[in-house]
Structure 1
Amino acid sequence: MSSFLFFFAKNIREVNLIIEQGNTSSKVAVYKNGQIKASFVYKEFGVSVVAELFGKYAFSKGIFSTVVDADEELVAFLRSKLQFFVFLDENVALPIKVEYETPKTLGKDRLAAVVGANYLQPGKNLLVIDAGTAITYEMIEASGVFLGGNISPGMTTRFRALNHFTKKLPLVTEEDDIPLIGTSTETAIQAGVVNGIVYEMDGYIDELKIKYPDLLVFLTGGHSFYFERRLKNSIFADINLVLTGLNRILEYNVEN
C-alpha cells in the first residue's frame, strides 16, 4: 500500500470515542463528522471492553462521562491511548452557560442532554426531558443559558416504589394499552403511573409555553419512545441526545 493510500485509509477510520456510564449500564458510541456511526450498550464495562473497541476503530479523541465512581484504571487507559481525552467534570469547558447553583452535583447525563439539544437546535428555547430511572426536565434559553431543571421518579422507579413501600400492591410493568381509569389493582397502578407521568410532562410543557411560546421539546432516555406517542404536545424524540451532547462537548474542547 502506498503512503498516500495508507494515510487516506487511516484517516477514514479516525473517529471519536464517546462513553456514557450510567447506574445500570454503559453506552459507547462512535462518532465521525458529528454523526453517530455505531453504538453499543454494556452491562459489564471496563478496560477489556474498551480495548476491544480500539482494535476495531482508530480512535484519536474521546470523552468519558460517568454518574458513578470513575474506574481509575479505565481513565488511565483512555489517557494513554487517545491523543485528546476529556473526563467530564464541573471544570470542563462547555459550549453553553450554566447557571445551576451546584454545578459539582449536576448530573453529567443531564448536562450532556442539554448540550445535545442546544447543538441540534441552536438559538431556540428548549425543554429537555430525559425519561429513564429518573425523569429530568431541563430548561435552556435561546441565548444558550442553562437555567436548571427538575428531577422526578421514572416509570420503573414508581412501579417498584409502590410495590416496595406497601404490603399488598403487586409489582407491575407498563403495557401498550393503558386505560384512563383502572378496573383492577394491576391496571389501576399502570394507569396511575403512566398517565401521571404523561400529565406531568404535558403540564411542564404547557406551563413553560406561557413564558416561551416558541418552546421546542426534546424527549430522550430509555422510555422516551414509550411516552412520545402519548403526549399531546409535539416533541423531538432522540434516544442518542446525551451521546450527541458528549460528542459536542468533546469537539468544543478540541476547538478551544
Structure 2
Amino acid sequence: MSLNLTIDQGNTVAKMALWDGIELIDIVNEAHLCAQTVEQFTHGRGAIDAAIYCSVSDDGSAVLGSIRHIAKRVCRLSSRCRLPIKIDYGTPGTLGADRIAAAVGAVSLHPGQNLLVVDAGTAVTYDFVTADGTFRGGNITPGLKMRLDALHRYTARLPQLEVPASIEHRRVLGKDTADAMILGAVYGIVGAVSFYMSKLRDTKVVMTGGNAPLLSPLLDFEVDVDEHLVSKGLNSILLYNENKK
C-alpha cells in the first residue's frame, strides 16, 4: 500500500493525515509540529508515495526536510503549484495556502456548485468559488478568540473571556457584559456569512475550522461542516498531480 501524507500547519495547531487514495487512514492534531512528530506519525506505516505541506507561516524548513526523507514526492503548497481549480486573484503569491486547500477541498466535495468556503479558525476567511471551479476572491476577519482578546486588550474594563463551547440558539442579545461580548463576537461572524449569502446567488456554504461547530447551528440555512476540509483539499491536490503524470 502506497500512501499520501498531508500536513496542514495552522496558526494554533497542525493536522497530519495519511490517505490511501481518497480514503482517510489516520489523522492527528499536533500542537508542536516538528521533524520528530512527523517521523513518529509516519513510522511503520509503509511507503509514503507523496506528501504535501501547507503552512500559514514561512517557517517550515525542518518539517520539509523530514518529509523529504520519508516521501518520494514532496510539495509545499502555494498558488504556483498545479491545482485542480483556477485562481482569479489579484496577488496570487499572497494567497494563503490554507485558503487554496480549503477551496479545493470544498470543490472536491461539491463539484459544479457555487461555494462560499468559510474557515472559522484563528482568523475567519470567507472565499467564493464559482461552479466552474474558479477561486474568485474572499475576505479575512479576526476569529472569535481574537475578537474577544481585542475587546479586553484595547479597553479599560472589559474582561478577558474564552470562546464558549456552544451558544443557546436564537439568544441574540446579551444580558450582562460577558454575554454582550461573546454574542457580539459570534454574531459578527454569523452576520457576515449571512450577508455574503444575500449577495451570492445559488451558493452553498461549506464551513471548517475550530469554531465551525459553534457557529454553523446559528445560521438560517443549510451549512456543510467538514473539520477535515483543508486536509481533504491537500490530498485532492496530490491526487490531481498524480493523475496528470
Question: How high is the TM-score relative to the length of structure 2?
Answer: 0.93
Structure-to-structure mapping, 1:1-256, within 5 angstroms: 11=1, 14-58=2-46, 59-175=48-164, 176-178=166-168, 179-208=171-200, 212=201, 214-256=202-244
Task: Measure the CA separation in 2 of the matches of 1:231 and 1:174.
Answer: 18
CA gap of 1:196–1:71, structure 2 versus 1, over 3 A, is closer
Q: Aligned with 1:83: secondary structure?
A: strand
Residue ranges of structure 1 left out of the alignment (5+ in a row): 1-10
Q: Aligned with 2:218: secondary structure?
A: coil
Task: Measure the CA separation in 2 of the matches of 1:168 and 1:15.
Answer: 53
Task: Measure the CA separation in 2 of the matches of 1:80 and 1:56.
Answer: 14
Moved more, 174-183 or 43-52: 174-183
Task: Measure the CA separation in 2 of the matches of 1:99 and 1:107.
Answer: 14
The two structures, once aligned, show a CA RMSD in angstroms of 1.4
Alignment-mate amino acid for residue 73 of structure 1: A
**2:21–2:239 contact (8 Å) kept in structure 1:** no
**1:174–1:194 contact (8 Å) kept in structure 2:** no
- Following TM superposition, the consecutive aligned residue runs of length 4 or more in structure 1 with deviations greater than 3 angstroms are none
Alignment-mate amino acid for residue 62 of structure 2: E
Cα displacement string for residues 26-55 of structure 1 (whole angstroms, at most 9, x for unaligned residues) = 110111121222111111111111111231
Post-superposition offset of 1:69:
2.1
| Structure of greater Rg | 1
Residue ranges of structure 2 left out of the alignment (5+ in a row): none
Moved more, 179-188 or 217-226: 179-188
Moved more, 180-189 or 120-129: 180-189
**1:124–1:141 contact (8 Å) kept in structure 2:** yes
Post-superposition offset of 1:127:
0.8
**2:122–2:145 contact (8 Å) kept in structure 1:** yes
Post-superposition offset of 1:200:
1.6
Task: State how many pairs are aligned.
Answer: 240
Task: Measure the CA separation in 1 of the matches of 2:42 and 2:141.
Answer: 37
Alignment-mate amino acid for residue 157 of structure 1: M
Task: Measure the CA separation in 1 of the matches of 2:12 and 2:163.
Answer: 19
Moved more, 180-189 or 74-83: 74-83
